[in-house]
Amino acid sequence: MKIIQKCFMVFENSELERQYQLERSLSIKKPVFICLLFLSFISNLFAIIVESTYLPVQSLSIYLILILFTIIEFITIVVMKKIQFLQYGITFSNIMLGFLQFNVDTSSETKSEFYAYGNAIMQLQAVLYIISSFNHAIIQVTIHLILRILITIYQSKKVDSLLIGIGFFGGLIILITVHYYESRSRVNFIQNLKENQLQDTYSFIIQRPFFKISFSEGTLMFNLNTKYQIDQFPGFDEYYCDGCNARNLMRSYTNEQKQTIESLLLSQKLENNGQLMITFKKQTFQIKYCKVDLQQQNYLIILQDIDIQDKKQINIEKEQLKLQLFLKFNQDFKHKKLFNWGVLSILQLNNKIIQKIDLKQIIAKLMHIYKKYLFPNLNIEIQYDEQNLQIYTFKNQLKIFLIQIFEIISKIQHYERRKVLIILKRKGCDALIKVQNINQTQFNFNYCQNFFIQHVQSLVINNIQISDCIGLQIRNHPIGSFYRK
């Protein structure tokens, strides 16, 4: 059974064979078949119109039969979408072309016309041989060989041994060619299937953030094929699509010689696979690259461990963490909490991390802490105009800024005993904090004299307005961060 399947070019797996035949039918067989039906209908209709002027209706019967078969095939396979009958329709149409040898008028046509028409018909037959399955090609070639021999013997009243020999060996060469073409087509189908399956299993095999790109000659840029955890790459921006992010990262990442990854890949001077030490803003990390197609520029880019800071910076952060833990368990009283916040502010002043923060949540938390530990009679009302107040900003600097703002507001409200209204709302991409019913002169004086605010406001504030109320426009950073988490 396996030998028969191998000879007749059939996959052992029936589902695989079905997928292959469906792919072949939709990609090449159906378009060629529709063109053949159109050509057959037009040529036969034209022949009927021209020859009906000087020939009896009986002589036009073969054209009428061919038109009828053309219409039936078109309705069954194209209109009713019976794709399973497509190969049978191709085989039947090709066999019917063989009967055109009967339609020869030796009295009105020259030898040159015989040769030209025969050559044109053979071109159509050759195309149908090639796109057909190998087992159907055997049927077509065999029937055509028998038809030619029988019709020639019938019309010439003699047996031509040379014709039989040439026809036999010609048919054999055609079948060898079709067999080779079919085998290559099936190999390519399996390779494409394996590549698609491999793309689906990339994430399971690699288990590291990666993306696969291919260079398009038409658009002259790299396109994203597949990806896994691409948002873990430094500089990823969720405001752009994954394809735009992949291209931006390749144009932003540079090696030790300040060459971008995109220029290195386009130069094709790199080895097929290797590692590169990448610098991006203040980060240094390693990526692996692999050329997955030797004919085209298809690359797999894999993110390795990120070495963001040097050893000295890591040690500093460890000491900061120890101090933060100490302060966390030593903040029972009011004066201790104020002292702890001051120490934490100094520690975190230059620790610049961009992170997604819910402004509503962090202000509500500050309000709770101030009323519980610092100013129990604090009279501040907070209103939210919009539900979504999440922004990307410098996490530590914003906390320092808001602590100082609350410190200023709380002290002013404590002495003046006026209810302060804080309104949170969106202003474009940014967030706006409006402070109403407060002594603006006192607020402005404390704001300008505050050490921490003067050091962090350039990072977190886009604009400050003091008119009928105080408006603090918190800057949203819709870009990749230095130390994005």
Domain boundary among 284, 307, 330: 307
Q: Is residue 45 part of a domain?
A: yes
What percentage of the chain carries pLDDT values higher than 90? 5
Q: Are residues 186 and 229 in the same domain?
A: no
Q: When comparing pLDDT for 138 and 1, which is higher?
A: 138
Percentage of residues of the chain with pLDDT beyond 70 = 80
- The CATH number of the domain holding residue 439 is 3.30.565.10
Return the H-helix or E-strand segment holding 112. Answer: helix 111-131
Amino acid 310: pLDDT:
46
- 447-466 residues labelled b (16+ CB within 10 A) or e (exposed): beebebbeebbebbbbeeee
Do residues 183 and 252 both lie within one domain? Answer: no
CA distance 321 to 347: 10
Give the pLDDT band (50/70/90) at residue 142. very high
User: Considering its fold, how many domains does the chain have in total?
Assistant: 3
Are residues 225 and 136 part of one domain? no
For residue 443, tell me if it sits in a domain: yes
Inside any domain, residue 328? no
Whether residue 34 is found in the same domain as residue 134? yes
483 pLDDT above the threshold of 50: no
In this structure, the answer to whether residues 239 and 187 fall within a common structural domain is no
Split at pLDDT 50, 70, 90, the class of 1 is very low
Give residue 177's domain range.
Answer: 2-199
Q: Which of 255, 281, 307 is the last residue of a domain?
A: 307
Is residue 358 located within the same domain as residue 451?
Answer: yes
Instruction: Tell me: do 195 and 215 sit in the same domain.
Output: no
β-pairing verdict for 461-466 and 390-394: unpaired
CATH of the domain at 253: 3.30.450
Any idea which residue has 């400050």 for tokens? Answer: 464
Per-residue pLDDT at 141: 92
Which of 207, 240, 206, 201 lies closest to 224, judged by CA?
Answer: 240
Per DSSP (E only), the strands in 177-235 are 210-216, 221-228
* CA dist., res. 363 & res. 386, Å (int): 14
Please tell me which residue, 37 or 205, carries the higher pLDDT value.
37
pLDDT at 5 over 60: no
The radius of gyration of the chain from alpha carbons, rounded to an integer in Å, stands at 40
Q: Which two tokens stand for residue 57?
A: 């209706």
Handedness of CA 309, 314, 320, 325 (dihedral sign): positive
Last residue of one domain, picked from the residues 147, 173, 199 = 199
Query: Are residues 353 and 435 located together in one domain of the fold?
Result: yes
Same domain for 234 and 168: no
Q: Within this chain, do residues 153 and 18 fall inside the same structural domain, yes or no?
A: yes
pLDDT in tens, 311-330: 445 455 555 555 455 445 54
Residues 184 and 226 placed together within one structural domain of the fold: no
Average pLDDT of every residue of the chain: 78
Does 74 share its domain with 131? yes
Q: What is the mean pLDDT of residues 338-345?
A: 49
Average pLDDT over residues 270-280: 81
